[in-house]
Amino acid sequence: MTVTSEVRWRAQAEITPHGAGNPLMPPRRSRLRMKLQLSLVVCDVIVLGASIALAGYIWAGGRIGMNTTQIMAVFIPFYVLAALNCGAFAAGVLGDRRRGTEMAVRSVLLACAGVVLAVFFLKAGEQISRMTLVIGGVMGALFIGVERGVVHTLVRQWCGADLYSEVLVIDESQIAPPPGVFVMDAKSVGLRCDLRDPLMLDRIGRALAHADRVVIACPPERRRDWAMMLKGANVDAHIINTDLNALGPLGTDNFAGHATVKVAAGPLTLRQRLLKRGLDIALAAATLIILSPLFLLVALAIRLDSPGPIFFVQTRVGRGNRLFGIYKFRSMRTETSDANGNRSAYRDDDRITRVGRFIRATSIDELPQLLNILRGDMSFVGPRPHALGSLAGNLLFWEIDDRYWHRHACKPGLTGLAQIRGYRGATHRELDLTNRLQADLEYLSGWTVLRDISILFATLKVVVHRNAY
């Protein structure tokens, strides 16, 4: 045996010994995920087949005929193709119940549409029962949602959160590893950055062969060497760069041959923005029509109660940190109104009129913001817009937390997550602002139409609130 081959054999033996599992190597999770994905395909097919069979049995009056079998033969392949295209069988859905169910139900609907198109083009309407297809599709969507929930629960019970093999390689660096991560001390297992040593490259490749994701913690001067070594290791590799913590990067890109760090992105996609805007316009128009008598009564009461305009317009911070004028029913005397918002209203505030006290307590004073929604300045749900001079304690809002400006990544709302949690009214302490900001950032991190609707319904419970004055 030559010296080179002997060194190579020792390098392999230390990392991949024969026999029992090697404590120096991370566990392999890829095979487990493949088995779970295949099981998911089988479960979906069984559930959908049973749904169509049950639909055929119900519609045919207690028997399953050839018609039902033909629907199965066309529907199930369409579903599998649609699910593969939508990612309904992807490894990521194993740990994400909501996303997995959504993708599966969407695939069922696509499969129904595919069968309808196939029947139309093949002119096989007489051979395929449309009612069996409709009933089977509806039942399949419902049952597959239940099945996905059961599968998700079983996966969590059997496998926990260990569906991916994550490895943290520590190379003379200080970092506290999170739970569930396989930690590999580079010095202890004999790994080092040496681009001129093929055996070391082989050793690193074998040590990380089973890893799904590798994170390197090393001194700044070694980051480039580790990056160069890992580019050919066929792993999802990341290098910790504490210098970027202050930027909060979202990803990387390239501009004119220069690497760039992505630090910001809108929280909603174009499709989501269109959906949200459509919901806003429909609800705002309908609400204005329904509440028009109330608008006239409130306007008349304000005019009779004190001299001055009916509406109070104040400059607020909107989406993209752009300023806009927000409409409210005037609730204070004109000569004492605070256009900059430096002074928060408080209980028994002598600036508030008699009518103003009632419309503030019942949140009626906020209703003119429906006009802002129609104009596109606001949305029904979102972070509440603040005045430029708003204070929490003795500090301006943005002086308390640098993340304050992040909340303006979407349109401000008539109501929001902070409001239904009771964070409204005067901001006497810094904590009052911090609580609202945390709720606003939480809202931005996971927008859905259903969440907006749930916030709107929850708002009805807190329209009259002890902090509204």
User: Same domain, yes or no, for 251 and 285?
Assistant: no
Which pLDDT band holds residue 18 (cuts at 50, 70, 90)? Answer: very low
User: First CA to last CA across the chain, in angstroms?
Assistant: 88
User: Same domain, yes or no, for 153 and 216?
Assistant: no
How far is the C-alpha of 343 from the C-alpha of 359, rounded, in Å?
19
How far is the C-alpha of 46 from the C-alpha of 56, rounded, in Å?
15
pLDDT digit string (tens) for 319-344? 888 899 999 999 988 877 666 555 65
Quote the domain boundaries for residue 74: 30-159
Residue 39 inside a domain? The answer is: yes
Of 161-165, 390-394, 444-448, the poorest mean pLDDT is in 161-165
Residue with tokens 């009771």: 422
Residue 468 inside a domain? The answer is: no
Residue 467 inside a domain? The answer is: no
Give residue 11's pLDDT.
43
Secondary structure, 3-state, 39-106: HHHHHHHHHHHHHHHHHHHHHCCCCCCHHHHHHHHHHHHHHHHHHHHHCCCCHHHHHCHHHHHHHHHH
Q: Is residue 334 within 8 Å of 372, Cβ to Cβ?
A: no
Residue 22 inside a domain? The answer is: no
Is the pLDDT at 300 greater than 90? The verdict is yes
How far is the C-alpha of 414 from the C-alpha of 393, rounded, in Å?
24
Is the pLDDT at 6 greater than 50? The verdict is no
Domain end position, chosen among 245, 262, 279: 262
Residue 24 inside a domain? The answer is: no
Nearest CA-CA partner of 15 in 183, 217, 208, 187: 208
Cβ atoms within 10 Å, residue 162:
14
Phi, psi torsion values for 259, nearest 5 degrees: -70, 135
User: Same domain, yes or no, for 314 and 376?
Assistant: yes
User: Same domain, yes or no, for 297 and 405?
Assistant: yes
Q: Is residue 355 within 8 Å of 365, Cβ to Cβ?
A: no
Residue with tokens 């050839």: 66
Give residue 302's pLDDT.
94
Residue 169 pairs in a beta bridge with 184, 216
Amino acid at 466: R
User: Same domain, yes or no, for 246 and 364?
Assistant: no
Question: What's 385's DSSP letter?
Answer: P
Share of the chain above pLDDT 90, in %: 25
Domain end position, chosen among 107, 133, 159: 159
User: Same domain, yes or no, for 215 and 254?
Assistant: yes
User: Same domain, yes or no, for 420 and 308?
Assistant: yes
pLDDT digit string (tens) for 345-381? 556 677 889 999 999 888 899 999 999 999 999 999 9
H or E element: which one contains 236? strand 236-239
- DSSP per-residue codes, 277-304: HHHHHHHHHHHHHHHHHHHHHHHHHHHH
User: Same domain, yes or no, for 277 and 255?
Assistant: no
Provide the pairing of β-strand 379-381 with 391-392: unpaired
Question: What's 39's DSSP letter?
Answer: H
User: Same domain, yes or no, for 275 and 421?
Assistant: yes
Share of the chain above pLDDT 70, in %: 86
Cβ atoms within 10 Å, residue 422:
13
pTM above 0.75, yes or no: no
Domain end position, chosen among 230, 262, 294: 262
Which of the pair, 336 or 154, is modelled with greater confidence? 154
Residue with tokens 């929001």: 416
pLDDT digit string (tens) for 195-227? 778 788 788 888 887 888 888 899 989 888 888
Residue 25 inside a domain? The answer is: no
Nearest CA-CA partner of 7 in 164, 200, 176: 200
pLDDT digit string (tens) for 413-446? 999 999 999 888 778 888 989 999 999 999 988 8
Structure tokens at 42: 């089988």
Residue 144 inside a domain? The answer is: yes
Give residue 126's pLDDT.
60
User: Same domain, yes or no, for 431 and 450?
Assistant: yes
How far is the C-alpha of 27 from the C-alpha of 33, rounded, in Å?
13
- Residue 222, CA atoms < 13 Å, CB-side half-sphere: 17
Question: How many domains are there within the chain?
Answer: 3
How far is the C-alpha of 222 from the C-alpha of 230, rounded, in Å?
12
User: Same domain, yes or no, for 455 and 334?
Assistant: yes
User: Same domain, yes or no, for 205 and 295?
Assistant: no
pLDDT digit string (tens) for 224-280? 888 888 877 777 888 888 888 878 787 777 777 777 777 777 788 878 888 999 999
* Chain mean position to CA 66: 44
Name the 3-class secondary structure at 40: helix
Is the dihedral angle over the CA atoms 425, 428, 433, 439 positive or is it negative?
Answer: negative
Q: Is residue 367 within 8 Å of 339, Cβ to Cβ?
A: no
Residue 4 inside a domain? The answer is: no
Q: Is residue 164 within 8 Å of 94, Cβ to Cβ?
A: no
Of 18-27, 68-77, 189-198, 279-288, the poorest mean pLDDT is in 18-27
Is the dihedral angle over the CA atoms 360, 362, 368, 374 positive or is it negative?
Answer: positive
Is the pLDDT at 14 greater than 60? The verdict is no
